[in-house]
Amino acid sequence: MYAIRISGAPTVGGISKEENPRPIQHGGRGSVRDNCIAKLESLGFRVGQSLVERFTKDSSRFKDELDTMKFICKDFWNSVYKKQIDNLRTNHQSPSCELFPFGYLHCFEIVLQLLLLGVYVLQDNKFRFLTQLSNGKQYMDSAPMYLAFPCGMIRGALSNLGINCIVTAEVSAMPAYLDTCSAVQYEL
């Protein structure tokens, strides 16, 4: 149900064994690594669930899915990362055939796939969990470790709002300059 993919770096498997029969990377360390990522993801899931309960305590019911997504982009993101998502796009028509129909280079993206409904792409140009990492390929390997938790958090938050989804993340370059908006794109 869940995968984090890092392009330009070895693929890292997700939670479900059946759905991710990916070869183990990094020799013997791979399974330990996968295990870590699965655990981090489930920690995130739990935190996302509780956080969203706190945040929506006094708000009224969301109108529809898009409304929920807007909440995630604005309020949730603001509370957790102190900024809003920079761009939200959706692709309701082709849920499974093309995950990245948007024709420019993504430095970092998280793709959120709502089962049977469509894909939402959320873009954060300055994702706080990655801005402290150095630029370059050197730390590309460890990026999944930093992304598993936030991915789980989104999944947990949405799950408590009644939306089951798949969250994937992709990084092709680390943020070069923290102040430029083009460096990181965060999508889901």
Site for other proteins contains 184 (CB under 8 A): no
Choice between 53 and 98, CB closer to other proteins:
53
Q: Provide the 10 A C-beta neighbour count for residue 143.
A: 22
Site for other proteins contains 43 (CB under 8 A): yes
Choice between 53 and 67, CB closer to other proteins:
53
Site for other proteins contains 89 (CB under 8 A): no
Choice between 1 and 47, CB closer to other proteins:
47
CB of 176 within 8 A of CB of 183?
yes
Helix (H) or strand (E) holding 66: helix 65-71
Q: Any alpha helices (H) in 73-118, and if so which ranges?
A: 77-81
Contact pick of 32, 66, 117, 178 for other proteins (by CB under 8 A): 178
* Strand duo 118-123 + 87-91: pairing: antiparallel
Choice between 14 and 156, CB closer to other proteins:
156
The token duo for 65 is 């899915």
Strand partners, 165: 114
Contact pick of 24, 51, 133, 145 for other proteins (by CB under 8 A): 51
φ/ψ of residue 123, rounded to 5: -125, 125
Q: For binding to other proteins (CB under 8 A), which residues are involved?
A: 39, 42-44, 46-47, 50-51, 54, 79-80, 82-83, 128, 131-132, 178-179
